[in-house]
A and B are shown apart, each in its own frame.
Chain A
Amino acid sequence: QVQLQESGPGLVKPSGTLSLTCAVSGGSISSSNWWSWVRQPPGKGLEWIGEIYHSGSTNYNPSLKSRVTISVDKSKNQFSLKLSSVTAADTAVYYCARTEGYCSSTSCWHYFDYWGQGTLVTVSS
């Protein structure tokens, strides 16, 4: 069974860059799946951040696109998130997830079937 584990600093200063890594085990990151980041502010709902394919192709939530970079390291079977210029509004539990579904030549239909346990990142000085 696929397992995902997030890691990274739990505290980031305002205007800094949030960096997280998701290690994938029990399956290959080079499978036919995409791999996503989703976040959840304390006591609030879920927000999709973006996704990556093992080829390095990415798709981002337009509302965060200018600040987000997702990358993949196939040799380590992991992918990473960088979110720049963070503010207190970026304080959240960040989840990595395996994306399931399918894509055509112009669009995709994606939901999330395996999730990491999540990691809380607090933005504070």
Chain B
Amino acid sequence: EIVMTQSPATLSVSPGERATLSCRASQSVSSNLAWYQQKPGQAPRLLIYGASTRATGIPARFSGSGSGTEFTLTISSLQSEDFAVYYCQQYNNWPRLTFGGGTKVEIK
């Protein structure tokens, strides 16, 4: 099983600032990585797939990068609606699809 490790566990950011979230895979997943946003009491929402392709309707302030084992989700200028938990998911090792433990982005 590929273990996905996200850091930091919690990120404190002021509105308007940039947020950088990391996701590391225990072995290469190529570019087969997705990012999700989850707000309290809601289902996850797909943000990024293919490591860097924004899903339909996702604002341009969200961007993904990386390949292999190291990935980054960047939120260029945090809006109030962006404070949430973010998960990465690898889909290179099917059917052993796995998620990271999440990064909580909170208001500083």
Contacts and interface: CB of A to CB of B under 8 A. Distances in A.
A117 B94 contact: no
A54 B71 CA distance: 33
B43 A111 contact: no
Contacts of A47: 99
Contact-size category for B: 20 to 34
A39 B101 CA distance: 13
Contact of A61 (B45, B87, B96, B100): B96
Interface string A71-109: 000000000000000000000000101001100000111
B92 interface: yes
Given A61-B95, A62-B96, A109 B44 contact: no
B83 interface: no
A46 B43 contact: no
Q: Is the interface of A mostly helix, strand, loop or mixed?
A: strand
Contact of B95 (A45, A62, A100): A62
A118 B43 contact: yes
Nearest to B90: A111
A121 to B, nearest CB: 15
Nearest to B43: A115
Interface of A: 45-48, 50-51, 59-62, 95, 97, 100-101, 107-113, 115-118
Interface of B: 32, 34, 36, 42-46, 49, 55, 87, 89, 91-92, 94-102
25 contacts: A45-B101, A46-B89, A46-B99, A48-B97, A48-B98, A61-B96, A61-B97, A62-B96, A95-B43, A97-B43, A100-B46, A100-B49, A101-B91, A107-B94, A109-B32, A110-B94, A110-B97, A111-B49, A112-B34, A112-B46, A113-B46, A113-B49, A113-B55, A115-B45, A117-B43
